[in-house]
Structure 1
Amino acid sequence: MEKELQKKMADYQRFGFILLAVSTFFYLGLVLPVEDKNFIQSITLGIASLTCLGFTALMYNVVRKCKVQLQEITK
């Protein structure tokens, strides 16, 4: 059970880090000036960035819950 929780925590931390990196690229696409970018594309990039940040927070919330479970098991 402990090893499963540790593996789960590591996976969710990786997912969170990857989503944070993707969110950064979306944000860079939003703030860097591009000649052909219109308002709809800017809104789409902003929403995509915020969505990835939301999922990142969700992943790290799951990691926090797994840590609490792991601490309860090891007591």
Structure 2
Amino acid sequence: MKNKVEQLQKKISDYQRFGFILLAVSTFFYLGLVLPVEDKNFIQSITLGIASTTCLGFTALMYNVVRKCKTQLQELSE
């Protein structure tokens, strides 16, 4: 049981890091979308918007997994 708790704690920290990194990447994509550049065309704007939204979706997925792991960790500790 102690091994299972350690594994869950490692998963929680890993998924939190992944979520934070994806949030940072999404921020950079969004900045690329909103900053005015002369060479940027419509296709590039759409691509940056889709990439930003996709990264935000994966960020939400990572934090959802963290929430589930924390629930499992609480159940194991009881």
Code of the aligned partner of 1:33: P
Deviation string for 1:46-74 (max 9, x for gaps)?
Answer: 00000000000000000000000000000
> 2:66 and 2:35 mapped to 1: Cα distance?
33
- Runs of 4+ in structure 1 over 4 Å off: none
CA distance in 1, matches of 2:22, 2:37: 24
**CA deviation digits over 1:29-57, x for unaligned, max 9?**
00000010000000000000000000000
Match of 1:38 among 35, 38, 41: 41
In percent, how many aligned pairs have the same letter?
A: 85
- The letter of the residue matching 1:17 is F
**TM-score scaled to structure 1, two decimals?**
1.00
Query: Hey, what does 1:56 align to over in structure 2?
Result: 59
Q: Which amino acid aligns with 1:52?
A: C
Aligned to 2:16: 13
How large is the RMSD of aligned CA atoms in angstroms? Answer: 0.2
- TM-score, normalized by length of structure 2? 0.96
